[in-house]
Every structure is written in C-alpha cells, then in structure tokens.
Amino acid sequence: MQDTWSEYFSGMVIATSQPEIGPVVSSLTGPVRDQSELTGMLNALLELHLPVLSVQKVEPDA
C-alpha cells in the first residue's frame, strides 16, 4: 500500500515492510475516533481485497 492512500484512510500513517519470505506487509497507524470509523476503515480494506492480519489498540504516550 502506497503513502498516497493515507488521505483515503483518514490521514493514517502507512508503513510497509518486506519480510524475507512472503508478501509485503503494510501497517496503518493513527487515531480512530470511534467504532464507526474503525468499521468504515475495515470495510474499505475489504472492498480493496486487502487482508487484515490484526488490529491493535495502542494507548497514546502520556
């Protein structure tokens, strides 16, 4: 996933990594306002036929 998709996904920071074996993995990081926004993002990924490997809640730095 290219950085140009960041605006499509509410300004999320997109990072990609290439493991030695397997496909490129993209990570989206950023704040999500509520469950509805998260559901919208997950649905958008599904519509693009991009598999979701995991979703993690990360607490903001204090």
CB 40 within 8 A of CB 28: no
Tell me what pLDDT residue 39 has. 92
Tell me which DSSP letter residue 58 carries: -
30-44, pLDDT tens digit by residue? 888 889 988 988 998
31-35 long-range contacts (CB < 8 A, ≥24 apart) are: 31/60
Tell me what pLDDT residue 59 has. 81
Q: Helix, strand, or coil here: 5? A: helix
Rounded-to-integer distance, Cα 50 and Cα 16, Å: 14
